[in-house]
Amino acid sequence: MTSDASPRPLARAPRGFQDRRADALVAEREILGAVSRVYESYGFERLETGAFEYADALGTFLPDADRPNAGVFALQDGDEQWMALRYDLTAPLARFAAENWESLPKPFRRYAFGPVWRDEKPGPGRYREFLQCDADTVGSERPEADAEIIAMAVEGYAAAGLPRNAYALKINNRKLLNGVLTAAGVADPAQKLAVLRAVDKLDRLGTAGVTALLGAGRKDESGAFTKGAQLKSAAIDAVVAFVGAGAGTRTATLDRLANVIGGSAEGEEGLNDLARIGEALERLGIGEDQALFDPSVVRGLEYYTGAVFEAELTAQTLDERGETVRFGSIGGGGRYDDLVARFTGERTPATGFSFGVSRLAAALAASGAATARAARGPVVVIALEAERMGDYFALASELRAAGIAAEVYLGASGMRAQMKYADRRLSPAAIIMGGDEIAAGTVTIKDLDLGRALAAGIEGNKAWREDRPGQVTAPRADWVSAVRNIVEAAR
């Protein structure tokens, strides 16, 4: 116990961490349930690893973090080994697969969901703990494994309730740009990285800005100068032609890409991989315009080695002030053939996709796809006389036995505060059993939705009000069905 002399601690959550109540959690639970069912229907097995990994096992793969373990929550264990909270679900999978490779059925297909932690600067809508839901196939180098992952993403978004036209799923392959650069005589890794960084800014800077960054460099509006990749003009043209080769269907993009990848072996391989992904997607029923090939997708500077996938919300969404909100990525993934090899030394092909669950929930709400449903409270049995608590409990038990959530008010306040409590819980009904009711063998049932509608001035049409009077007195033998009618009307 804190002694009376110690100051009282301030009650506040650590910065960047959220308390989430029923409304938010219901939406997340539905997304996780829908996506998990899709994953399981494709034969993916659930896996849950611990929150911590040894720091050396996590590696330095966190996007945009060059220092070892920058951006993660790390601490030293009792035996002086550094441990860190997982920053994604892929690094723990790579460790698990390497640790158990001999005994796993191969290819190993697993899905996982849970919080991940990043020690980054928190901001509006930017948390240091958030939920991911991933599926990965480890041990298959077939492009069809990528196609299947993409198909599950498309089905996952549909199952979660995101309309088909609210987002775009874009597919690219790292081998293509590598092939273009090889054909253009660019071999320096630093220069290649500068090209990737430039292409990654296409959304923000447009073709002219990217062209400048591929060449000498670019001065922004503030006058600051960013040095470019120093490509020669022919190489710049090749990259720009490649990046702009996307079309409205996978087949059309493949045709255009064949003309711009410049004939290198790696480029041809990337093109062949994409073509096989396209064929498999077709057989999996994923329409030409549902998952597109888009050569401009770079997907950060992460550990991907081949195919990359990115899902972006396209529907315009407005914030509370009516301003357009850019949501950006709501999921992504790709092929990473080297993560398991870090441990084993043996190349182990792998591919996966990660849903940003919290972002998807926010996107669903913002795009109007999910009706923001407030979590409904239970039926509240009003408790006015201490010596009748047993009777109140018996009423609540009767309701629960009939499958209706119910509670007895357990505070110390009077009738008015109890009704206000039931209203704040968004309860559909309140039950009153006072002396009159007991004498008459009845209970009184108040329809709280009607009360809310009246209070909000939405009186509805008269017929509805006659169908659903605000208050019903029902005999003890038949009261539960009267409550059920009100509860079902409130759904």
- Per CB under 8 A, which of residues 196..235 are in contact with its own copies? none
Closest approach of Cβ 197 to its own copies, in Å? 17
Question: How does 378-408 read in b/e, with b if 16+ C-beta sit within 10 Å?
Answer: bbbbbbeeeebeeebeebbebbeeeebebbb
Provide CB contacts within 8 A for 362, sequence distance 6+.
125, 327
- Per CB under 8 A, which of residues 406..425 are in contact with its own copies? 406-412, 421, 424-425
Segment interacting with its own copies (CB under 8 A) among 200-208, 326-334, 341-349, 362-370 = 341-349
With contact defined as beta carbons under 8 Å apart, do 272 and 281 qualify? no
Decide the pairing of beta strands 379-381 and 429-432. parallel
Nearer of residues 412 and 463 to its own copies, judged by Cβ: 412
Instruction: Record the tokens describing residue 30, joined without a space.
Output: 């539905």
Nearer of residues 107 and 161 to its own copies, judged by Cβ: 107
Told to check if 43 binds its own copies by CB under 8 A, we report: yes
- CA distances (Å), origin 491, targets 30, 373, 426, 455, 488: 17, 10, 11, 19, 5
- CA distances (Å), origin 79, targets 49, 68, 75, 325: 21, 20, 11, 47
Segment interacting with its own copies (CB under 8 A) among 12-20, 168-176, 352-360, 480-488 = 12-20
Nearer of residues 43 and 441 to its own copies, judged by Cβ: 43
Distance CA 27, CA 93 (A): 26
Instruction: Record the tokens describing residue 431, joined without a space.
Output: 């039950």
Which has the closest alpha carbon to 118: 32, 58, 35, 56?
A: 58
Told to check if 25 binds its own copies by CB under 8 A, we report: yes
Q: Candidates 90, 132, 140, 173: give the one binding its own copies (CB under 8 A).
A: 140
- Per CB under 8 A, which of residues 79..108 are in contact with its own copies? 79, 81, 83, 85, 95-96, 98-100, 105-107
Nearer of residues 25 and 440 to its own copies, judged by Cβ: 25
Told to check if 189 binds its own copies by CB under 8 A, we report: no
Nearer of residues 322 and 403 to its own copies, judged by Cβ: 403
Told to check if 142 binds its own copies by CB under 8 A, we report: yes
Q: Candidates 279, 288, 337, 437: give the one binding its own copies (CB under 8 A).
A: 279
Told to check if 145 binds its own copies by CB under 8 A, we report: yes
- Per CB under 8 A, which of residues 233..252 are in contact with its own copies? none
Half-sphere exposure of 128 (CA within 13 A, CB side): 13
With contact defined as beta carbons under 8 Å apart, do 139 and 161 qualify? no
Told to check if 124 binds its own copies by CB under 8 A, we report: no
Told to check if 288 binds its own copies by CB under 8 A, we report: no
